[in-house]
Amino acid sequence: MQRMSRGQPDQHCAEPRGELAIRVMAMPADTNPMGHIFGGWIMSMMDAAGKMTAATCASCQVVTAAVSNISFLQPVNVGDTVCCYTDVVNVGNTSIALDVEVWVRRQGHGERLKVTEAQFTFVAVDEEGAPRPVAAAECRYN
Ligand SMILES: CC(C)(COP(=O)(O)OP(=O)(O)OC[C@H]1O[C@@H](n2cnc3c(N)ncnc32)[C@H](O)[C@@H]1OP(=O)(O)O)[C@@H](O)C(=O)NCCC(=O)NCCS
C-alpha cells in the first residue's frame, strides 16, 4: 500500500482538501420534507465525484466498494452552490481510498462552508467486474 495523504483530516480546516470534482447548484427537486436538500442527493454527488477521480486515477472503470464516516455537518439549501472535493489518500493493489468533502457557498456567494464529509473506497475492475491492479505510480491525484 502506498500512503498518499496530503494532511490529516481536520474538521476545522477552513479550506477544502483535494481537487474540485463537481460544482452544481442545489435545486428544489432535491429537497426533503424539511425543505433542505436530501442527504441521499448529497451522497450521490459525493459518490459520483469520488468515482470520477478514482477512474481517472486507475485509468479504468471503478466500482464503489465502501463508504464510511459520513458526517452531515450543516444543511444544504436550495440555491446553494455545492462543490465536491476529492483527495486520494491511499492506493492499494486494486483499491483507491479517497476523502470526499462537500462545501457550499450560500446562494452562490460568500464564504465557503463545509457541509458533509466521508471516506470512500473504489475498486478498479475489468470488463467482467473482477478487481484488477492499479498502477499506483500512474495515479494522478493532484
Ligand atoms: C468491490 C468488489 C469488486 C470487490 O470484489 P472482491 O472479490 O470482494 O475483491 P477483493 O476481496 O479481492 O478486494 C479487492 C479490494 O477491495 C477492497 N475492499 C473490498 N471490500 C472492501 C470494503 N468493504 N471496504 C474497503 N475495502 C474493500 C480490498 O481491501 C481490496 O483492496 P486491495 O486490492 O487494494 O488490497 C465487489 O465486492 C463488488 O463488485 N461489489 C459491488 C460493487 C457495486 O455494485 N458498487 C455500487 C455501484 S458502483
Question: What pLDDT shows up at residue 139?
Answer: 72
Beta strands in the chain (DSSP E): 2-3, 19-25, 62-72, 81-91, 95-105, 112-124
- Whole-number Å distance, alpha carbon 126 to ligand 1 midpoint, is 13
- Whole-number Å distance, alpha carbon 20 to ligand 1 midpoint, is 25
Q: Kindly give the number of the ligand 1 atom that is closest to the alpha carbon of 1.
A: 34
Claim: this prediction has a pTM higher than 0.75: yes
- The amino acid present at 26, given as its one-letter code, is A
The three cell numbers of residue 110 are: 460568500
Please indicate whether residue 55, judged by its CB atom, sits closer than 6 Å to ligand 1.
Answer: no
Please report the domains of the chain, with CATH numbers, ordered by start residue.
23-138 (3.10.129.10)
The three cell numbers of residue 2 are: 502506498
Summarised one tens digit per residue, pLDDT across range 9-58 is 444 568 999 999 999 999 999 999 999 999 999 999 999 999 999 999 99
Please indicate whether residue 53, judged by its CB atom, sits closer than 6 Å to ligand 1.
Answer: no
Integer Cα distance of 23 and 43 in angstroms? 14
